[in-house]
Amino acid sequence: MTPGISQLILSLKRLHRLSSVVDLLGWDEQVNLPEGSADFRSEQMAFMSELVHRESTSSEYLKTLMAAEDEIQSNRLSPEFRLVVEEARKEFNRETRLPSEFVARKSAAQSRSFHAWAVARRHNSFKDFAPYLKEQLELALEEASYQGYAREIAYDYWIDRFDPGMNRDIITPLFHSLVEELTPLVQKIMSSSIKPDLTIFKGFPIDQQDRFARHVVAKLGFDFHRGRLDRSLHPFCSGCGSDTRMTTRFFPDHPLDSLFSSIHETGHALYEQGLPTEFLGTALGSAAGMAVHESQSRLWENQIARSRAFWAYFEPIYREYFPNQLSEISSSQLFLAINAVEPIAIRVDSDEVTYNLHIVLRYEIETALFSGDLSIDQVPDRWNELMRKYLGFTPASDTEGCLQDVHWSTGSFGYFPSYTLGNMLAAQIWSTLSSEIHDIDAQMERGEFTQILQWLRSRIHAKGKQLSASSLAVDLTGSPLSHKPLVNYLTRRYSQTYQLIPASIHLT
């Protein structure tokens, strides 16, 4: 390695050590923090964010960055290392454009807002959360303006933050086509005579659910030696430096929700644990973006963990963990429950078909908030109106409506589209992966997931930021990101489950 790039990588690793302290403070805030310490933690995180900002915009660091850029000029860097330098420059410019005062102010506001959201959600009181949401939106607009994005395109700034290269021009038509094809599919499923019954799951003790979840996620490849599984109000996965920490939540009468939450987060965690550790903190050791991240979580959660092959292996084990609770539930009832499609209020508990409609709803609200077409006060009404339009009913409360997600409380606007982009990408990846590993079903039936993980590791995880969601789709499948593979996959799987088309058609 030439001296410039090797010095830059050292500096980036140093910064990563510091920024991952902020990640840990955030994880601890959601998993451990006693309620009375919320304000102090806000101040602590604000101060730390300010320090990260200061370190990553220091003149000393700039010198290191420029020395590496000289090595690009003199053609001494491989494409991989050039990417490291270019991404570091992008990040440096982005950070430099933000005043220190803003960074600290935003961080403190985020923390306060997160706690206000948690309380408002508990009390079903959107009006208590509204001023915080307003502040988060204003901060998001302010940040976009520092980055040179006028109000009309501020939302594109935020989409790009989570998915480099993405914007409304790409997303809007994709989402439009998707809705057009999903709506009739949902209607067909709804009119099928086959009806899953989720009320038959009762009294699954939480500690036992926890043990089974650990069994499953370890089997999928999660490395507990470099990671943890804990509990929090909203499941999430956080790369805390060199260890990956995911959370879930358990309800005695909703064991499948908890299980699939854990598997979803495991998909994220396997991606994090598969990033090249020697390049952590650089573009080569960072996730490509949230759509790619979500493609991994959704692929494990849906394509893999809702398949017949997966349950051929895990059903007997599941019955060993819960002999009494499952004794009255037949295999076909269980499998149908796992593949239940039903419009419900809560996104994270939704099936993989209607899930995307929840995302389109949020995407439309965010678009309207950023353009100024929608005011904060109108959010609950618009939410309920779109729920009726896409899912056919009104949520019982704001707690089950516009207060359900953590994202807005911490200013993570522009994140939601990643979920459905991730679903599209997952379907594209799955079609290639399952054609290249010809005995994939047989492997899953034997509880073997190593080859699948290896495939994802070498084709996706190992590449860091070398491929974006768009270029990854092209690289793996030869086609750009599209709604078609997702629609095909969902149509095939659910036509079979709900007997919408003759079973003689070959289904994968």
- In the complex, the residues that contact a copy of itself under the rule CB under 8 A are 14, 17-18, 20-21, 24-25, 28, 32-37, 39-41, 43-44, 47-48, 51, 223-228, 240-243
Beta carbon of residue 170, minimum distance to a copy of itself (angstroms, whole number): 37
Helix, strand or coil, per DSSP, at residue 238: strand
Instruction: Specify the residue, 26 or 196, whose C-beta has the smaller distance to a copy of itself.
Output: 26
Instruction: Specify the residue, 14 or 308, whose C-beta has the smaller distance to a copy of itself.
Output: 14
Amino acid at 134: K
Instruction: Specify the residue, 116 or 391, whose C-beta has the smaller distance to a copy of itself.
Output: 116
Q: Are 283 and 275 in contact (CB under 8 A)?
A: no
| 3 state SS for 325-337 | HHCCCCHHHHHHH
Beta carbon of residue 225, minimum distance to a copy of itself (angstroms, whole number): 4
398 Cβ neighbours under 8 A, 6+ residues apart:
124, 125, 126, 380, 383
Beta carbon of residue 96, minimum distance to a copy of itself (angstroms, whole number): 20
Beta carbon of residue 240, minimum distance to a copy of itself (angstroms, whole number): 8
Q: Which residues of 437-457 are buried (b: 16+ CB within 10 A; e: fewer)?
A: beebbebbbeeebeebbebbb
Q: Are 313 and 444 in contact (CB under 8 A)?
A: yes
Instruction: Specify the residue, 210 or 342, whose C-beta has the smaller distance to a copy of itself.
Output: 210
Give the integer Cα–Cα distance in Å for 224 and 238.
14
Instruction: Specify the residue, 20 or 497, whose C-beta has the smaller distance to a copy of itself.
Output: 20
- Spot the catalytic one: 87, 265, 272, 294: 265
Cα-based distances in Å from 479 to 160, 166, 302, 418, 470: 21, 16, 22, 19, 9
Beta carbon of residue 44, minimum distance to a copy of itself (angstroms, whole number): 5
Instruction: Specify the residue, 227 or 380, whose C-beta has the smaller distance to a copy of itself.
Output: 227
Q: Are 403 and 117 in contact (CB under 8 A)?
A: yes
Instruction: Specify the residue, 35 or 328, whose C-beta has the smaller distance to a copy of itself.
Output: 35
Helix, strand or coil, per DSSP, at residue 179: helix
| 3 state SS for 48-109 | HHHHHHHHHCCHHHHHHHHHHHHHHHCCCCCHHHHHHHHHHHHHHHHHHCCCHHHHHHHHHH
Among the listed residues 414, 417, 428, the one whose alpha carbon sits nearest the alpha carbon of residue 483: 428
Q: Are 157 and 140 in contact (CB under 8 A)?
A: no
Asked if 364 is an active-site residue, the reply is no
Beta carbon of residue 284, minimum distance to a copy of itself (angstroms, whole number): 17
Q: Are 138 and 266 in contact (CB under 8 A)?
A: no
Beta carbon of residue 207, minimum distance to a copy of itself (angstroms, whole number): 8
Instruction: Specify the residue, 49 or 410, whose C-beta has the smaller distance to a copy of itself.
Output: 49
Give the integer Cα–Cα distance in Å for 304 and 46.
40
495 Cβ neighbours under 8 A, 6+ residues apart:
501, 505, 507
Beta carbon of residue 250, minimum distance to a copy of itself (angstroms, whole number): 16
Give the integer Cα–Cα distance in Å for 457 and 384.
41
Helix, strand or coil, per DSSP, at residue 231: strand
Give the integer Cα–Cα distance in Å for 272 and 260.
18
442 Cβ neighbours under 8 A, 6+ residues apart:
309
Which active-site residues does the annotation give?
265
